[in-house]
Amino acid sequence: MKYLKTVQLIVLIIGIVIVYHLIFNPDIGIHLLWNILIPIAPALLVVATGLWRNICPIASISLFPRHMGFSKKIKLSTLQVDKLNLIGIIILFLIVPLRHALFNTDGFATALLLISLSCTAFVLSLFFDWKSAWCSGLCPIYPVEKLYGINNKISFPNAHCDKCYNCVSPCPDSTSNISRDTSKNIYKKLSSLFLIGGLPGFIYGWFQIPDYYQIPNISQLIVIYKVPMLWSLLTMVVFLVLKKFIQEKTLIAIFAASAVSCYYWFRIPALFGFGIFSEDGMLIDLTHVLPVWSIQIAVYLTSVFFFWWIVFSKQKKVSWMIRPVYGRYEKNIYSNK
């Protein structure tokens, strides 16, 4: 557990360093965030979701009021959490296309985005208990964690919750196969359709658009949203059709593997200069060093790995984290339902 606390602190410091560079040395900050940290994140969400949820720097900021004892610890109902999850997905689909228009090339705007997300997480945690409002509620990455982390194999100690106060039910960190939570209100149904059905198309469409190095005009801005949204609509339809023929559990796994594979299918070539739009998202130009076929082999192997891990490998039925012992409040604190 102690090692996780240390890693938590190190990653928080890295986050602060990245924000510093985004403001004062934007080229370095953009490389650190978009071309190193973010490309690692999806793979980490697949193989060690619990590790990421323990060390995410915005989670650490969010849980600071709770650790320091000045959160009001208000409890949210399951329905309220489901509503927050849906809003988180909408925020994700609104922010990610803006990377082409702004964040991929503007360090200061990206720093403002990260600071705004951190402030939102912090303020929510001033009022609501543990992870209910941010880490398992409004965080736009949480739905992706839930999708990519469906075939979890490693359970980490929970480095944030010293005791469990049932802040959300079911707790995504402590429940195995959380993605297959079967409660089906309208918010949950929409969240599943948008994220599980829509994510592979959204990612494919996103990679078909170049970065703009100055604020794009309105028609470019429309294209930035239109292309990923149309592709996402297409995969949502495919998802709905396949749902009639394929067992839901298997279908979700196939869509999760497709989404993460699609990401690396485009992102690995782009990192090394082999992308569709030459310099977009390039970490280092290896076009004169590596043959094209080596990159092709890398993306094929990556896809094979994700399909094996998510779809074909044996379910271990372990939660992302080990549930801590239950704690008890002196009195129950519930918000209005």
Question: Which residues of the chain form contacts with ligand SF4 (CB under 6 A)?
Answer: 130-131, 158, 161, 164-168, 171, 173-174, 323-324
Q: Chain-centre distance of CA 316, in angstroms?
A: 22
Minimum distance from CB of 131 to ligand SF4 (Å)?
A: 4
In terms of CB distance, is 166 or 176 closer to ligand SF4?
Answer: 166
Q: Which of 46, 47, 64 is nearest to 8 (CA)?
A: 64
In terms of CB distance, is 194 or 320 closer to ligand SF4?
Answer: 320
In terms of CB distance, is 165 or 274 closer to ligand SF4?
Answer: 165
Minimum distance from CB of 328 to ligand SF4 (Å)?
A: 12
In terms of CB distance, is 42 or 324 closer to ligand SF4?
Answer: 324
Minimum distance from CB of 121 to ligand SF4 (Å)?
A: 14
In terms of CB distance, is 3 or 326 closer to ligand SF4?
Answer: 326
**Other CB atoms within 10 Å distance of the CB of residue 128:** 29
Please state, in angstroms and rounded to a whole number, the distance separating the CA atoms of residues 337 and 317.
32
Residue the block writes with tokens 């925020």: 91
| Alpha-carbon distances, residue 212 vs 99, 230, 285 (angstroms) | 9, 20, 20
Contacts of 49 (CB under 8 A, 6+ apart): 145, 148, 149, 152, 320
In terms of CB distance, is 59 or 268 closer to ligand SF4?
Answer: 59
Q: Which of 294, 267, 81, 295 is nearest to 191 (CA)?
A: 81
Minimum distance from CB of 26 to ligand SF4 (Å)?
A: 35
Minimum distance from CB of 320 to ligand SF4 (Å)?
A: 10
Range 190-199 burial, b when 16+ CB lie within 10 A, else e: ebbebbbbbb
Which residues sit opposite 164 in a β-bridge? 326
For 219, the token pair is 């028609």
Minimum distance from CB of 62 to ligand SF4 (Å)?
A: 11
